[in-house]
Amino acid sequence: MPKTISRLEQARTIRLLNRSTHAVSLTEDGERLLPLAGEVTRGIEKADAAISVASRDCVAGRVRITAPTSILTTCLVPLPQHARDQLQQTERNLRGSDRMADLADEAIDLTIRTGPLDGIPGNRAQVLCEFPWVTCVAPNDLARRGTSQAPNNLESYDLISLSVVRTFGVDFGID
């Protein structure tokens, strides 16, 4: 810093500091410059903060996200470190729900859903990933009812199912 001040004094042919072997104090010019230098420094810090946020392409502020509870607990809550770094300036409000929410009415910024969004006005969908649905039968259920040969036969089994599977169907195969 002393070299920077010396260069400024030389460039402007002024003295900003009184220097002695025991003390350093501001000159009259230094006293006049100090408040202005503070304003400039704060302006530079503000610009730097704005640039660094923009350059990181970082989301800031409150973000309301809704997703099925299973996706919320397995994917969103344990976010990888690089994703947490991107969201460090956000306040995240996560809601687990399987129902279709009215995004505008409930002030939701982002929803993650499984299945099609046909017929829902104002929503824009983007496929994040595809995953297979797997139907499993407990061994004692197979012993009691036998191996199903067609999807319709599954209705007689004890099912725990998501409505999206019942609504949009399944491809059937026996492994």
pLDDT tens-place string over residues 114-162:
777 666 666 777 777 776 666 777 788 888 888 877 777 777 777 766 5
DSSP-derived letter for residue 45 is H
Task: Tell the residue number behind the tokens 């199912």, with chain if given.
Answer: 161
Whole-angstrom distance, CA of residue 95 vs CA of residue 127: 20
Position 58 scores a pLDDT of 60
Instruction: Determine phi and psi for 102, rounding to 5 degrees.
Output: -85, 105
Q: Are 62 and 90 in contact (CB under 8 A)?
A: yes
Whole-angstrom distance, CA of residue 168 vs CA of residue 159: 16
pTM of the full structure: 0.45
Task: Tell the residue number behind the tokens 């046909």, with chain if given.
Answer: 118
pLDDT tens-place string over residues 100-115:
778 888 888 888 887 7
Domains annotated on the chain, with CATH = 2-55 (1.10.10.10), 60-111 (3.40.190.10), 132-175 (no CATH)
pLDDT tens-place string over residues 21-31:
888 899 998 88
Q: Are 120 and 100 in contact (CB under 8 A)?
A: yes
3-state secondary structure of 148: coil
Whole-angstrom distance, CA of residue 102 vs CA of residue 92: 19
Question: Pairing mode, if any, of strands 17-19 and 24-26?
Answer: antiparallel
Alpha helices in the chain (DSSP H): 2-12, 28-55, 69-71, 81-86, 139-145, 163-168
